[in-house]
Amino acid sequence: MVSIASRQSWGARHRDGDINLPGLARKIIIHHTATAQVAHTASIEQERAQMRNLESIGQQRFRQGISYNVVIFPSGRAYQGVSWNRRGTHTGGHNSAARSIAFAGNYDTHQPTPAALATAANIIQQGRGRWWKATAPVKGHHNFRATACPGRNLRNLIPEIVRLANGRPPAPAAPPAPGAPSVLRRGSTGQRVRDLQAGFNRVFPSYQNSARVAAAGGGGRLLKEDGVYGPITAAWVSEFQSRIFAGQTVDGMVGARTGGALARHGIRNLGWN
């Protein structure tokens, strides 16, 4: 069960929509706020400030307070916007029939975090028969008008959100192109993993002091260069991703994007030099 912070918790100051809505919503519409990108490490106070900013934007545009029913941040935390039984101003012509889930940030230029995607899926699941019909489809804002919302990166992941909401495992990753190096992830072993570990120890030794590495059980010491990609190695990779790709996906795996970034920082021989 997702905990959704109340309007009172973030300091809502304006009206809660305009009218009460009878019955269950017939559709769920995904948005992005297209506002400043907040890091996944943002504090609750920073997120609350963003909620008040979104409320001010909605109030200035439509005079009905915040536009969205719920806003999800990269941290995975969710905040109530317009109450579920009240009408917001998120999608012209569909505000009475639909409820909205907004991802805070701009997903034309950033990738949604796994935590945010999981929260959206859980909200969709727990709202079935409670806030919307069990058969309510999940659509993007772009399905109803010519708009970039919810951003091309989030738009492409709506089927994945629905899959997670239905309790199905994530879709399998596409196989690598012929000749492409395999992704390094937990369970990987061998010389490439050993080179990754040695590279981190050489280039980013300070990662041993990060909270993320400490939480994985590896705080205060360099990586063991054993060629085994375990949870501590994954934590070092996640730490690198969080610093280099601020506000974007942190998955603890080394594929083409992360491998290329590591190579640019001097950690090579992983296949993406």
pLDDT tens track for 204-221: 999 999 988 998 889 999
Q: Which residues pair with 228 in a beta bridge?
A: 189
Give the DSSP H or E segment for 54: helix 44-62
Closest CA to 262 of 200, 216, 179: 200
CA distances from 100 to 26, 66, 126 (A): 11, 11, 14
Pick the CATH number of 191-264 from 1.10.101, 3.30.310, 1.10.3470, 3.40.50: 1.10.101
Residue 250's pLDDT is what?
81
The yes-or-no verdict on residue 30 having pLDDT over 90 is yes
Contacts of 216 (CB under 8 A, 6+ apart): 231, 232, 234, 235
pLDDT-derived band at 249 (thresholds 50, 70, 90) equals low
Residue 193's pLDDT is what?
95
pLDDT tens track for 104-141: 999 998 888 888 998 999 999 999 999 999 999 999 99
Residue 5's pLDDT is what?
95
pLDDT over 70 percentage in the chain = 95
Would you state the torsion angle of the CA atoms of residues 77, 111, 153, 64, taken in this order, to the nearest 10 degrees?
Answer: 40
pTM listed for this prediction: 0.66
The 3-state secondary structure of 231-273, one letter per residue = HHHHHHHHHHHHHHCCCCCCCCCECHHHHHHHHHCCCCCCCCC
Q: 4-165 has which CATH code?
A: 3.40.80.10
Residue 242's pLDDT is what?
87
Q: Amino acid identity of 233?
A: T
Residue 194's pLDDT is what?
95
- What residue spans define the domains of the chain? 4-165, 191-264
Residue 40's pLDDT is what?
86
Phi/psi of residue 53, nearest 5 degrees? -65, -45
Classify the C-alpha dihedral 236-239-240-245 as positive or negative.
positive
pLDDT tens track for 31-77: 999 999 988 888 999 999 999 999 999 999 999 999 999 999 999 99
Mean pLDDT of the chain: 91
Closest CA to 270 of 212, 261, 61: 261
CA dist 164 and 39 (Å) reads: 23
pLDDT-derived band at 2 (thresholds 50, 70, 90) equals confident
CA dist 5 and 12 (Å) reads: 11
pLDDT tens track for 146-180: 999 999 999 989 999 999 999 876 555 556 566 77
pLDDT tens track for 211-247: 889 988 899 999 999 999 999 999 999 999 888 876 5
